[in-house]
Chain A
């Protein structure tokens, strides 16, 4: 069966510090991978998605970047965090090829930038 791992669960970082959040998927190959963020009082916003190794699409201009060094690994990074980067970050995966494909989410990372 497929599983998705996301870490860390919580993170408190000072403004200007770097960030690295990691997500890995097991039990499937060539998944589509996504990073979503929920800022306070707002819905889930798609930040990045990837359909393959090294292929990253950014949905919104921001201080963050994403990378996919391996088929089932997705990393969210920042060189210098801003206060506005605070929020709850969710990694998710899905497979294309069917009109009924749903997203499977990780457990999330609560990031507080102080």
Chain B
């Protein structure tokens, strides 16, 4: 059974703190790893799609790394802001570019002003 684990499940930080989350996925048959941000009352939006071992992607204060050999990805947020409050989902695509993703349960981040 293919499983994607995210930790922590939830996180409360103060504005200005930097934080990071972990996504663990099967290391075999890897094709791609996606990160999505899901704000309350909105649709999930893609942050990154990562395909190569050692990939590092950055979007503003948010960055992500990928280790396909050991099956993990980290998402970092530098200097968290209240607008970063959301649930962050990672999703694993295996076996080819089928578009089928296995999602983790997400990490819910709450940034207090």
B residues within 8 A CB of A98?
97
Of B10-18, B58-66, B68-76, B98-106, the one contacting chain A is B98-106
By DSSP majority rule, is chain A's interface helix, strand, loop, or mixed? loop
Interface size on B, residues (CB 8 A): 24
Cβ 8 A contact of B51, one of A90, A100, A103, A106: A100
Cβ 8 A contact of A99, one of B32, B43, B100, B103: B32
Q: Chain A: interface residue count, which band?
A: 20 to 34
Contact B43–A107 (Cβ < 8 Å): yes
Cα A105 to Cα B37 in complex, Å, equals 11
Q: Chain B interface (Cβ within 8 Å of chain A)? A: 4, 31-32, 34, 36, 42-46, 49, 51, 89, 91, 97-106
Can you pick out 7 interface pairs between chain A and chain B where the beta carbons lie within 8 Å of each other?
Answer: A43-B4, A43-B89, A43-B106, A44-B103, A59-B100, A100-B51, A103-B36
Q: Chain A interface (Cβ within 8 Å of chain B)? A: 32, 34, 36, 41-46, 49, 59, 90, 94, 96-108
